[in-house]
Structure 1
């Protein structure tokens, strides 16, 4: 089922340029394709130049998919942790398409081992990719986002859930993801309103359920987990809805995918898979009603 048929509106991304970090596969690629189906220019920043033995696709095959979907795409092989690579991605967007209208901070690392088993290397990796990478890409894009009539920075991070369960489940990973959320909320106040108008919409998006990506497939019992996971297209459709709204309408908000779709008139989520009881994602509490 095409994503257009699941959403209530037909937004246009013609002449809009979207820069996505970690966009060679999974949710990042799905969002890139969602924008491409509506005519976007897409710049993908990712490390995967060569095929990975356990993960599908490269940044180049991802660009081919973007163009097949109806958009224009450019691949930038680089590491979101490196300032020079991030600058090259933004420069590429400007050189090819004349500017930057949307940044999607998708690149992320996860390690959920208990604190005493978590290595310093993994801790640093999460902080460097999740927090530093989000900071670097957004900072580099800001001068161009200010020039866009409908600028957005969408960060794949959860609402701040202070439930002690999530605080204690994996404190270091939680810190890194909440760090991304806090940067977005902070930027919403720092840059969201300039000269009396909402110049840039800073928002977060998080899945209500597990999403059927390679990260889930490669877990123990991955095949069973995938059956109870929704497809990445739900995140793509949710992202398109957010990025189609005026910046001021979404600035400073943290969205759950199913909730933003419901706001947009989409309540039947069966087309995204996951069965009758898909697995709730990390940071999402059981509903009491």
Structure 2
């Protein structure tokens, strides 16, 4: 017998791709449980299993930076009992570096991170945590089916009390933009292009700009409740803002930018943060 749970939770994370670099991602999580019926004609206590799996995902992959631990260009180092370092050296000489508390880094035993590979790893980790009557657990991660513009961004919110304070976590998001009351797919695609595979950086977190031969980097860093965070990333992947990168600030930034670029027009921006949640901002600047 099998039990299934569709859309158990959403996992928001960033992961490192050897070709595209740092990527934000949001995965819907579905599970299937296999086992024998007990004396109550049930496989297991559904609510208890759901709670256990969701908590495990929250503790071990959600709002973390997932790294391909077995890629030959990956270097993972323990700095001290609290902090670790992940560095990736590209063939063209570029590099990426993230130093953070160990709880912010998820080491996947793969050379390439995919939803399928991440799900297989989760399955191998959680079966022994579940009730003995369960014979197998199947996990499926899948991106939201977005009909329209989307972008993948990573960021960090040092003022956040929870795990959003981690310097490299992210989302796959859609966007809705209304120009004078009419939805504009052209505007939406423009912002999807502006923020494609981007790191949204806060100006006050920028420590320095670094030039190394022909490569250019932004170095970010801050200390928050969970510890000291630092990130070195290719400048071509960075989009800078003069505010925190909360979804409220992001929607306001898009609306403000569009209004400044198009005086006399009213813009309403629905900026999503992952799946099914976000913020709305409106702005109009009168033409001179």
Q: TM-score, normalised by structure 2?
A: 0.25
Larger radius of gyration: 2
Higher helix fraction (1 or 2) = 1
Higher strand share: 2
